[in-house]
Amino acid sequence: MKTLEKSTPCELCMSRKFSLFSNLSEPHLCHLSDHKNFITHKKGQILFYEGTKPLGVFCINDGVVKVFKTASNGKEQIIRLAKKGDFLGYASLLGEESYSNSATIVEDAKICFVPRESFIKVLGEDTEFHRRVTKALCHDLGIMEDKLTDATQKSIRERLAFTLLKLSETYGIDGNEGEKINIILTREEIAGLVGTATETVIRLLSEFKKDELIDFEGKKILVLDKRGLARLSDFYG
Identity (one letter) of the amino acid at 139? H
Q: With binding defined as CB under 8 A, does residue 97 bind its own copies?
A: yes
Whole-angstrom Cα distance, residue 195 to residue 201? 10
* 53 DSSP assignment: P
Smallest separation (angstroms) from its own copies to the CB of 236: 6
Alpha carbon separation from 8 to 49, 62, 87, 103, 122 (Å, rounded)? 27, 12, 17, 23, 19
User: Exposure of 52 by Cβ count < 10 A (0-12 exposed, 13-18 middle, 19+ buried)?
Assistant: exposed
For its own copies, which is the closer residue by CB, 38 or 48? 48
Distances from the Cα of 85 to the Cαs of 70, 186, 200, in angstroms? 25, 24, 33
Contact partner at residue 94 from DNA, its own copies, none, CB < 5 to 8 Å by partner kind = its own copies
Per-residue contact string for residues 66-85; x = within reach of its own copies by CB under 8 A? ---x-xxx-x-x-x------
- Does 200 contact its own copies by CB under 8 A? no
- Judged by CB under 8 A, does residue 46 bind its own copies? no
206: partner contacted, choices its own copies, DNA, none (Cβ within 5-8 A by kind): DNA
Residue 79's binding partner out of its own copies, DNA, none, with CB under 5 to 8 Å set by partner kind: its own copies
End-to-end CA distance of the chain: 53
x/- mask, its own copies, residues 134-173, rule CB under 8 A, reads xx-xxxxxx-xxxxxxxxxxx-------------------
75 vs 116 by CB, closer to DNA: 75
CA 237 to chain centre: 26
Which one of DNA, its own copies, none is in contact with 11 (Cβ closer than 5 to 8 A by kind)? Answer: none
Which one of residues 196, 204, 223, 229 is an interface residue with its own copies (CB under 8 A)? 196
Strands (DSSP E) found in the chain? 37-41, 46-48, 56-70, 76-83, 87-88, 102-115, 172-174, 179-181, 214-217, 220-223
Using CB under 7 A, list all residues that contact DNA. Answer: 73, 155-157, 186-188, 196-200, 202-203, 205-206, 216, 218-219
Q: What's the full length of the chain, in residues?
A: 237
Please say whether the beta carbons of 175 and 185 come within 8 A.
no
Q: What does the binding site for its own copies look like in residue numbers (CB under 8 A)?
A: 69, 71-73, 75, 77, 79, 90-92, 94-97, 100-101, 124, 127, 130, 133-135, 137-142, 144-154, 194-196, 234-236
